[in-house]
Amino acid sequence: MTVLASACVHPVSTSWRLSNNILTPPGVSKPTLTQRTVISAAAGKSVCPQGVRTRPTGVQIKVTRDGLANHPPGWLTAWTEDLEAQGCIVPGEAFRLATRIAQSLPLEPNAGFQLLYPRDSNLVEIDPGIRLQIMTPIVKEGVAPDAPLIDATTTISGAPDTGIAVNINGQFTNNVLGYETTWYSVQPKNRLPGVTVAPTSTERHIGGTTDNPAQPIRNYFQSLNEASFYGLFYKGGQTEFTALIVGGVTKADLDRRTKMLEADTASCELLKNEMCVVIPKRAAVNPMVLVTLNGREKLLNWGATVNVALNSGGIRQPSSVLPQLSISKPYGDGMAPVQFDHSDSAVLGLILMGGESISWK
């Protein structure tokens, strides 16, 4: 997959450059560039949708800044998945093509993230770049499903004129033996549409000891092995579950299933228990992003910014480390440094998409 500039040849940088609220990618000489042509491998189909040209070298897609700006969040991923479903591009290239398009032109700093990932309070699509963390309490045999697992005490201190502090202290009840945390990776399938989701590591804590079993007590994706597309569906209000993991053989199949859940009472029974798994209310499922902080890998909540990353690294005032802050982020199949004004805190609002390396030492 390649990108061709539709402009005169200028010296180009190998770095990302953040300036005046525009993030310019490597390979682009000026932040004023407004169009490029992205070339991807064709699937052999002679007819593609309007705006996509077929050539002996592959399909050519003309990308403009105005065109990218006039679409809702997540549109770009959905569009390339549709190209793949129609046989216009080779199987397994949809998300890579979407990422390459999002990295092709100077855009607002977080525009690429918004183009790739939809913004829906009820649904998180499980795409490459996301890591999943599922935490599950381990309870004693025979404990009722609604038995309390945490004892919490609340203390209030201070006075109205000096400020009031509310402290909540919680600990597991005797019903709990320990807890298990499992991390799942999301990888694009090789020359096939969709992704694979598999556990990569598990930590089990019982009675003050920790071990790393080869498999979790329950692999929530094991019964969804026929799916190639996945979503985490959350439902507000009082429910008996934390979330539902919904699968689809195709992206259209996943969309159909999630729309059914949005229009009705969310339950796997509504989907006839086909490619739908309940995350129990006692468990917690968290979409995460993996970054490197001062040489050590760190999982942060999905949608975290550079500011949040620095907070997680123990920096209470992130602007204080701007002079020595260094950031690299993925570009294509590699990494590229981010150039920015070290006296401007704008870089702290940059949303992390996974794979970034951040250091301040």
Q: Domain residue spans in the chain?
A: 2-119, 125-144+178-282, 289-359
**What's the rounded Cα separation, in Å, for the pair 131 and 337?**
23
**What's the rounded Cα separation, in Å, for the pair 171 and 190?**
45
- Residue 190: per-residue pLDDT: 84
Least-confidence region, from 53-57, 145-149, 186-190, 221-225:
145-149
What does pTM read for this prediction?
Answer: 0.83
* pLDDT score of 15 more than 80: yes
* pLDDT score of 258 more than 60: yes
Element (H, E) at 94: helix 94-102
Helix pair 94-102, 75-85: axis angle to 10 deg:
140
Least-confidence region, from 64-73, 261-270, 342-351:
261-270
pLDDT of 136-166, one tens digit each?
A: 888 887 766 666 566 555 556 655 554 555 5
Fold for domain 289-359? Ubiquitin-like (UB roll) (3.10.20)
Q: Kindly give the pairing relationship between strand 209-211 and strand 195-206.
A: antiparallel
Q: Kindly give the pairing relationship between strand 334-339 and strand 16-19.
A: parallel
Average pLDDT (257-272) is: 86
- The span from the first CA to the last CA of the chain, in angstroms, equals 36
Of 23, 125, 3, 33, the closest CA to residue 73 belongs to: 125
**What's the rounded Cα separation, in Å, for the pair 23 and 71?**
19
pLDDT of 238-253, one tens digit each?
A: 666 778 999 999 999 9
Q: What count of residues does the chain have?
A: 361
Average pLDDT (8-20) is: 80
Of 158, 155, 183, the closest CA to residue 168 belongs to: 155
* pLDDT score of 89 more than 60: yes
The residue with greater pLDDT, 43 or 221, is 221
